[in-house]
Amino acid sequence: MEIVRVAGWVFEKRDLGGIIFILLRDSTGIIQVTWSRKRGDKEIGRKMKKLKINDVIEVRGEVKKEEQAPNGVEIIPHTLRVLNEAEHPLPLDPTGKIDAGLETRLNLRPLDLINPKRNAIFRIKSEVLRLTREFLRDRGFLEVITPKIIATATEGGAELFPVPYFEVTAFLAQSPQLYKEELTIPFERVFEIGTYFRAEPFNTNRHLNEFVSIDIEAAFHTYEDVMKVAEELIVHVYKRLNEGMEEELKLLNLDLRIPQTPFPRVKYDEIMEKLRGIGVKIESGEDIKMEHLESLKDERTEGYYFIIDWPSKVKTFYTKDKEDREGYTNSFDLMYRELEIGSGGERIHKYNDLIKKMRKMGLSIDNFRHHLVFYKCGMPPHAGWGIGLDRLMMSILGFKNIRETVLYPRDRFRLVP
């Protein structure tokens, strides 16, 4: 006879009078605890009768084979301790049998995450993080951590959250861009997985004011080289999720098909032409909107693909211009259908070229002097990208709302919990 001790939460209770079943949940799964009047201790029976969903209990007892039980075994309790009681009814049904709206679920997130489907999302996300680190380290990228409290904008344009910093006003970082570029001098290849902040008052299903980005930067890489890193990373993640996360994927009814490489590379100009062909009024040099891509019927844009060679006007100041085509850059957006997952490209590495571009874009050279100095101290040719982790999860799991893939999302109207 095997005696075990299990601590966890009441997930479900079935009281048939002479026999009481409890489904006990812990982080590893669910096990049945069975008490019967015939053989069970009276005191334990009284306690079992009073149990409510999410009461915290500890059970000691013997393990028995039982075909009818969820895992083919059950525990016959010898002792039962109630470690904490939960109120009844709970503000959110943790089994998910009673459906609640997203607002309510996010307000009560830890209860929402008891639901095995919701729980699976974040187990998969954790695995995606592990696989990403594994992949990039294997490729010679060093993981780094750069400051999130900064003095000036890195991208220019995009809005920053100000924070009081002693005598001055500092800002929350919107990306690790300049730091990761500088770090190619000592390390060649770096990556960072970090939280970034954008103060734009978006109200969309793909923007949050706080999000996680996977960033890489690599010396002596072209934009084609780093596009390869991105597509191979995604294939690696898909393959390994299929191998290690079958249970979670099944809970979410997902059958992950490993994307084919190379991902299609579609030129910005070609998309513009196609869009004009279907009557969209759009000028060259404009950004491409999601609605536009939705109406584009092209088999190359049905999964992951790159939109490459963007006009300089819509890309950031550090993006390198094409040598053979004025006004265009060696840049790309990584897309999944109509959703932007990431952006990247080759960067300017010559001091004079960068100054010229910054002047043209009306940026203050003085604000960037701490950064610009390195362009005279051995800045290598380099390229990189940033991929939004939360958006990557949307593409893998098929969610339309980014909030489903973030534990405690921050948006225009959500600051608690």
User: Whole-number minimum distance, CB 138 to ligand ATP, in Å?
Assistant: 23
Both tokens of residue 49? Answer: 């009768």
> In this complex, which beta carbon is closest to ligand ATP, that of residue 341 or of residue 354?
341
> In this complex, which beta carbon is closest to ligand ATP, that of residue 256 or of residue 341?
341
- Taking CB under 6 A as the rule, does residue 404 contact ligand ATP? no
> In this complex, which beta carbon is closest to ligand ATP, that of residue 95 or of residue 205?
205
- Taking CB under 6 A as the rule, does residue 208 contact ligand ATP? yes
User: Whole-number minimum distance, CB 380 to Mn ion, in Å?
Assistant: 24
Q: What is the DSSP letter of 405?
A: G
> In this complex, which beta carbon is closest to ligand ATP, that of residue 6 or of residue 128?
128
Out of 135, 141, 211, 306, name the contact with ligand ATP by CB under 6 A: 211
The mark string for 337-356 relative to Mn ion (x by CB under 5 A, - otherwise) is: ------x-------------
What order of strands is seen across the sheet that includes strand 142-143? 142-143, 189-197, 210-219, 382-388, 339-347, 331-336, 304-308, 265-267
Q: Which stretch binds ligand ATP (CB under 6 A): 129-137, 340-348, 366-374, 375-383?
A: 340-348
The mark string for 256-285 relative to ligand ATP (x by CB under 6 A, - otherwise) is: ------------------------------
Out of 198, 221, 347, 403, name the contact with ligand ATP by CB under 6 A: 198
Out of 61, 311, 388, 409, name the contact with ligand ATP by CB under 6 A: 388
Out of 47, 105, 391, 403, name the contact with ligand ATP by CB under 6 A: 391
- CA–CA–CA angle 163, 167, 173 (5° rounding): 30
- Taking CB under 5 A as the rule, does residue 316 contact Mn ion? no
- Taking CB under 5 A as the rule, does residue 154 contact Mn ion? no
- CA–CA–CA angle 323, 329, 331 (5° rounding): 130
Query: Cα dist. 89→57, 119, 169 in Å?
Result: 18, 21, 47
328 touches which of Mn ion, ligand ATP, none (CB within 5 to 8 A by kind)? none
Cα 125 to Cα 244: distance, rounded to the nearest angstrom:
13
Q: Which stretch binds ligand ATP (CB under 6 A): 59-67, 72-80, 227-235, 337-345?
A: 337-345
The pairing of beta strand 210-219 with beta strand 382-388? antiparallel
Instruction: Please report the sign of the dihedral spanned by the C-alpha atoms of residue 135, residue 141, residue 142, residue 143.
Output: negative
Q: What is the DSSP letter of 383?
A: E
- Taking CB under 6 A as the rule, does residue 341 contact ligand ATP? yes
Cα 270 to Cα 179: distance, rounded to the nearest angstrom:
34
154 touches which of ligand ATP, Mn ion, none (CB within 5 to 8 A by kind)? none
> In this complex, which beta carbon is closest to ligand ATP, that of residue 202 or of residue 247?
202
Q: Which of 129, 123, 191, 181 is nearest to 155 (CA)?
A: 181
Cα 255 to Cα 54: distance, rounded to the nearest angstrom:
32
Length of the chain: 417
211 touches which of ligand ATP, Mn ion, none (CB within 5 to 8 A by kind)? ligand ATP
Query: CA torsion angle for 144, 149, 150, 154 (degrees, to 10)?
Result: 60
The pairing of beta strand 339-347 with beta strand 331-336? antiparallel
